Amino acid sequence: MKVSVVFGTRPEVIKLATLVKAFEKQSDIELNVCFTGQHKEMVLPLIDFFELKVDRHLNLMQHNQTLATLTANVVAAMDGYFAETQPDIVFVQGDTTTAMCAAMAAFYRKIKIAHVEAGLRTHNMFSPFPEEMNRSVISLMADLHFAPTQGAQNNLLRENISEDKILVTGNTVIDALLFTLQKVKQYPEYNIGTDFDNKKIVLITGHRRENFGDGFENICCAIRELAEAFPDFQFVYPVHLNPNVQEPVKRILQGLHNVQLLPPMDYIRFTQLMQKSYLILTDSGGIQEEAPVLGKPVLVMRDTTERPEAMQAGTAKLIGTTQQDIVDHVTELIVNKDLYLQMSMAVNPFGDGTAAEKIVAKTVDHVRQQKEALVG
């Protein structure tokens, strides 16, 4: 069996790394790994850390390119890649432009598609944008759907996807996080530490397109108000490189003594910073899955989430992007110890770290059954 695994962004390589390593252990599988280059600088160090062999670098990232340009370039490049490699099945992950375009190029060539982290929905096509639409489009084309939770499976079943094409596996991000923590423990050179070891840290991330403009203005003003109200806390913000994020963050937050604006962090250091933090304020998706493993409450600065399981489990709370709501919710977690303990001790709903093994087993079994049916 010829398997192609395609990724382009940092979240994708993190969530596909353990799957690639699991496929590498299969002697009867010919694996080909393709990196589109959508997040080049952020991904290359992770390829080294996870010790991945990448067979094709497409280098498709261009400065300030539009979604339309990126989509056209990825579809065309993936079509040429599939024509050359002729895989039996293509694995894509999540909701990125890379994932949607790779799936579409595979569909055009009638190549089977496997979707990792399938079935997440907000049911609002513009939130998150364009990720919600990307996921939905991939689901229409995929042959195998690896859902991280029962809720994600239920979403797919409601969309009339056959149950025998869906497997609930947990999320591969948990596999990657446990792998990373173990490697940091084994190899001291990865344990880089931080400058904030003796302080309570509020860790902040923000990059969503739908928050550009007023959303980021509100977020930054809220952080400023919180930093002034809680001078003993350290507010640590690795700032995304997008100018729509950089401009309001630097204008509103630069110069505050207990706000640290950092360049984007590599995954290994960020994982350690999550581990050291007191709570996390984010508009990210993956952090909603990772932080509960570490016992860290998550406040999600979005109006919708495709990961309701985190809210239902009590590990995360959806708080929106208005300044007062952000200030109120962070303040409550800082001053209300009972609420903090309740959120930090809630059970992680996203799996046990064996998702990649389950995906490989299901894929091998699916292909075997199809071959037997053809012979029959």
Alpha-carbon span 110 to 88, nearest angstrom? 9
Helices (H), 50-113: 67-85, 97-108
Alpha-carbon span 350 to 105, nearest angstrom? 30
To the query of whether residue 163 is one of the catalytic residues in this protein, the response is no
Q: Is 176 exposed, middle or buried (0-12, 13-18, 19+ CB in 10 A)?
A: buried
95, 283, 289, 290: which is the annotated catalytic residue?
A: 95
To the query of whether residue 210 is one of the catalytic residues in this protein, the response is no
To the query of whether residue 195 is one of the catalytic residues in this protein, the response is no
12, 131, 132, 283: which is the annotated catalytic residue?
A: 131
To the query of whether residue 41 is one of the catalytic residues in this protein, the response is no
Q: How far apart are the first and last CA of the chain?
A: 19
10, 39, 117, 307: which is the annotated catalytic residue?
A: 117
Q: In sequence order, what are the residues at sequence separation of 6 or more whose Cβ sits closer than 8 angstroms to the Cβ of residue 245?
A: 206, 207, 212, 216, 239
29: left (phi over 0), alpha (psi -120 to 50) or beta: beta
What letters, b where the CB count within 10 A reaches 16 and e where it falls short, cover 16-39?
bbbbbbbbeeeeebebbbbbbbbb
Alpha-carbon span 49 to 122, nearest angstrom? 33
56, 57, 143, 207: which is the annotated catalytic residue?
A: 207
To the query of whether residue 117 is one of the catalytic residues in this protein, the response is yes
To the query of whether residue 240 is one of the catalytic residues in this protein, the response is yes
Q: How many residues does the chain have?
A: 376
Q: What pairs with residue 201 in β-bridges?
A: 234
225, 240, 303, 325: which is the annotated catalytic residue?
A: 240
57, 209, 224, 269: which is the annotated catalytic residue?
A: 209
Q: Is 240 exposed, middle or buried (0-12, 13-18, 19+ CB in 10 A)?
A: middle
- Catalytic residue ranges: 95, 117, 131, 207, 209, 240
